[in-house]
A and B are shown apart, each in its own frame.
Chain A
C-alpha cells in the first residue's frame, strides 16, 4: 500500500484511538487537513516548488506511522545531542512521545510545555484557537498532513515583557525499535510584546533505520519581541527531514532563524516569513555542509507587506562527493511595502565533480521605493591560498578545512549563544573531517 493511502486510511483510527475531543476546533482542522492532503498528495517534481527534490525514494519505504517507544532510553543515550554546558529548559520527545523524566519544563513566567496539553486544557483554549494552524500554509500538502496527525510537540508561550533567561532545547529522537518510522512533531511558539526567547531544535535518529520526520513549527512574534531559532540538522544518513517553519511578525519585532544542515538523506526546509506591521526585521541564515549522497533543499519566502521592513538572508553551502544542494529564496515586496530593504545572498562551493547545486534566488517586487538585491555565486577553493598554507606546513586537509570554515564563518558568527557557537564549530570540524578547534 502506498504511503498516501496508508496515511489517509489510518486517519480515522488515529482520531478514535487518541481520545481526542471530537467536538473541538482542532478536530475540524484535522478533518479539513486530511481532505486537502488526500486531494493534493505528496508533491512531485512536476510541482515547481519541488523541481529539484524528489521524495520518491523515501515514500516507497514501508514507514510505521504509530511507533511504540523505546522505554529504555536514558540520559546517557541522548547526552551527546544536548548542549550540556548551559542551563536550559529541555523538551525531549522519543518516537513522538514526550519524556517527562528527561525533560525540564516550566510554567513560571512562561509556559514551556507540550502541545498535547495545550490542545486539551481549557486554560490554553484561547491561545490554540487564536494561533494554532493559522499561518501553516494551506497549499502545502505536507504541512496539511502534519496538521491532520498533530498530537505532540513543543508548546512555548511567552507572555508580555518577559525575557526567558534560559534557552529552550527541543529534541526529537527516533529509536527505530520497530523498523522504519514516520514522525510528525508539531511546535507552536507564541512570544508576547517586548519579550525575548532563544530556541534550539534538533531531530535525531538513534538507530540505523529509515526515519522520515515531517515537522511543522508556527512562530508568532508580537510587537518589539525578539526570537532566535536555531535548527541543528546533523542526522544519520538514513534519516530524512521535511521541516516547515512559518513565522508571523508584528511591528518592530526581530526574528532570526538559523539552519545548520550537516547530515541526513533528504532535508527539505520550508521557511516562510509573513509581516504584519512596520519596521520588522527578519533574518535567515543557513549553512549546509554535505557529503556522500545527501540532499538539502532550502526553500525560503519573505513576504513584505508593510513599509520600512528589512530582511537579510544569507545561505552558504559546501558540497562534496555526490551531494546535492538546492536553494530557492523568494522575496516578495507588495505594493504598500515602500522603503523595504531586502537582501539575499547564496554562496556555494563545490568540492567534488559529482556534487550539484541548484540555486534559484527570486525577487518579486511591486513597490518602487525599495532597495532589493540578491547575489548568488558558485565557485571553488582558491588554489593559491591552499598552496600558501601548504607551503607553510599546514597539511592539505586542514588547510582546506580552514578555508572552508572561513567561507562559512559569517553565518556561524551570527550565533548569539556562545556554547552553541562552539558546538556548531565542532560539528563543522567533524563534517569537514578534521580535528581543529577553529577558535583561534
Chain B
C-alpha cells in the first residue's frame, strides 16, 4: 500500500478545488430566468459596479416595471416573454471546430460571396486558427496608437471602473432610463457594450470598430454604447458586421448614445445582418434599438445604416440638434425579404439656431415583407433658420410586400424650411430588359439597379464597408425575382 504523501494530498486538493471551482462557476454565471430587483442587483454585483451604477439600474428597472410594451409600430410579432429570459449568462463557449470543412456550407457560400478572407472566415465561424495571435497583435498596435492620442476605447464595464466620472456624467443623458420600454429594460440589465472618448481637438486616426476591439466577448442581448466626442474632435465609428450573425438570441434591445460637444463630429455607421428567420418567417431576431445623439454648438452627427437582417427591426437613430449651427444626417438603406418586418427611420429635433438636417432613406421590400419609414422632423420655437431636407424612396419587388411611410413634420418657427418627398416605385421592366439585352442576367441586373437605387446611402459608408454592403444587398434579395 502506498503511503499517502503530502504530494498526494496536494494533488487531491487541487483536483477537488478545481471541481468545486468549476461548480460555483456555473452557478454564478447562469442566472435563473426572470427579472426582479435581485437580478438587477446581482448583475451589477457581478460586474463589480459602484453603488451609483447599481442605483441607476434599479431606478431604470422600477421605471420599466411601470411601462407597457409599445405597439404603435407597423410590425406584428409574438411579444417576448420577459420573465422567461435569463438576464445574465457568461458568453456561451461555442464548440471549437478543427477546420472549415465542419462549418455549415451555406455560411461558407455567403462568406465567399462577401469576399471575406479565409482567416476571417475561420474566425467568424469559430474555427481555431493560429492567426488569432496575429489579430491580437494587430489590435495591440491599434491600441497603442489610440493611447498615444489619449483616446479611450474599451468595454463600458471597464469604463465604469476606470473612468466613472465620464460615464456618470453622460450615461443616460440622451436616452434617459424612462425614454421607452426597451431603453428602460436595457438600462436595468445591460451586460456590456462599448465606450469611447475622444479628447479635445483629436481626430481619431482610424475607423473605430467593434470588429477590432479586444476583450469583445459577450456583449450579449443588451448592449450599451456610449461615444463622447469632446470639443473639436472627430471620430468615425463602425458597428456590426456584414457576415451573417447566426445568433440564437430572440431579443436584442441595445441602446447607443452619442455626444458631440462643440465643433465635434461623429460618424456612426451600422451594418446589421442578424438572422432574419427562414423563408417561412420562422425564428429570427427581434432588433429593438434606441439610438440617439446630441449635438452641441457647430457639432455634427451622421448616422449611416444598412439594415438587411433581423425578423423584426424597430430602430430610429436620432439627432438632438441642441447647439447653434449643428448638423444632423441620416442615411439609411433597409432591405426586407421573405417575412421580415422593418419599422425604421429617424428623429431630427431642431432646437438651436441655424441647424440643418438631411434624411435620405431607401427602403427595398421583397417577398412577403413589410418595410416602413417612420420619421420625425421637429423644429422648436427658438430654432431660427432651421433647414431640413427629407427624401424617402421605396422600391417594391413583387406584389406581396408592402412599403409604408409615416413622416411626422412639426414646425413652430416661421423661418423653418422643411422639404419632404417620398416616392414608391418598382423596378421597371424596361430597365431589366435593357440589362438583359446587354447580357446581364436578371438577378445581376436587379442587384445593379438596387445598388443604383441605394447609391446615395452606400456612398456614405466607409470604403471597405461599402464594398461588402453592396454584395450584402445582392445576397439579401437573392431569390426574390420571379
Contact = CB atoms under 8 A, between A and B. Distances in A.
B414 A359 contact: no
A338 B404 contact: no
Given A353-B381, A362-B405, A375 B411 contact: no
B303 to A, nearest CB: 22
A378 interface: yes
Contact of B421 (A351, A355, A369, A373): A373
A379 B417 contact: yes
Interface string A342-385: 00000010111111111111111111111111111111100000
A150 to B, nearest CB: 33
Interface residues of B, number: 35
A368 B396 contact: yes
Interface string B381-424: 10000000000001011111111111111111111111111111
Interface centre among A48, A352, A377, A378 (most CB of B within 10 A): A378
B20 interface: no
Nearest to B413: A353
A372 B381 contact: no
Contact of A359 (B399, B409, B415): B409
Contacts of B397: 368
B417 A373 contact: no
A380 B426 CA distance: 35
B406 A374 contact: no
Summarize A's interface: helix, strand, loop or mixed: strand
Nearest to A52: B410
Contacts of B404: 362-365
A335 interface: yes
Nearest to B393: A373
Interface in A214-235: none
Interface centre among A350, A354, A365, A371 (most CB of B within 10 A): A365
A361 B411 CA distance: 14
Given A366-B402, A368-B398, A350 B408 contact: no
A378 B411 contact: yes
A366 B426 CA distance: 12
A368 B405 contact: no
A363 B402 contact: no
B425 interface: yes
B426 A363 contact: no
B400 to A, nearest CB: 7
Nearest to A362: B406
Contact of B411 (A48, A351, A357): A357
A175 to B, nearest CB: 37
Contact of B420 (A48, A355, A375): A375
A350 to B, nearest CB: 4
B399 A376 contact: no
Nearest to A381: B414
Contacts of A352: 414
A365 B403 contact: yes
Nearest to A360: B408
Nearest to B418: A378
B72 interface: yes
A363 B399 contact: no
A375 B425 contact: no
B416 A368 contact: no
Given A372-B424, A378-B417, A358 B408 contact: yes
A352 B414 CA distance: 6
B409 A360 contact: yes
Contacts of A351: 414
Interface centre among B404, B412, B424 (most CB of A within 10 A): B424
A372 B425 CA distance: 7
Given A353-B381, A368-B426, A376 B416 contact: no
Contacts of B400: 335
Nearest to A51: B408
A362 B416 contact: no
A368 B420 contact: no
A335 B414 contact: no
A368 B409 contact: no
B422 A363 contact: yes
A348 B420 CA distance: 12
Given A48-B72, A373-B422, A367 B399 contact: yes
Interface centre among A360, A363, A374 (most CB of B within 10 A): A363
Contacts of A363: 403-405, 422, 424
A374 B422 contact: yes
7 contacts: A356-B410, A364-B402, A365-B403, A372-B423, A374-B422, A378-B411, A379-B418
Interface of A: 48, 335, 338, 348, 350-380
Given A335-B399, A368-B396, 15 more contacts: A350-B413, A353-B381, A356-B410, A356-B411, A358-B410, A364-B404, A364-B405, A365-B394, A368-B398, A371-B424, A375-B419, A376-B418, A376-B420, A377-B418, A378-B379
Q: State the 3 A-B residue pairs at the shortest beta-carbon distance, nearest first.
A: A368-B396, A350-B414, A378-B418
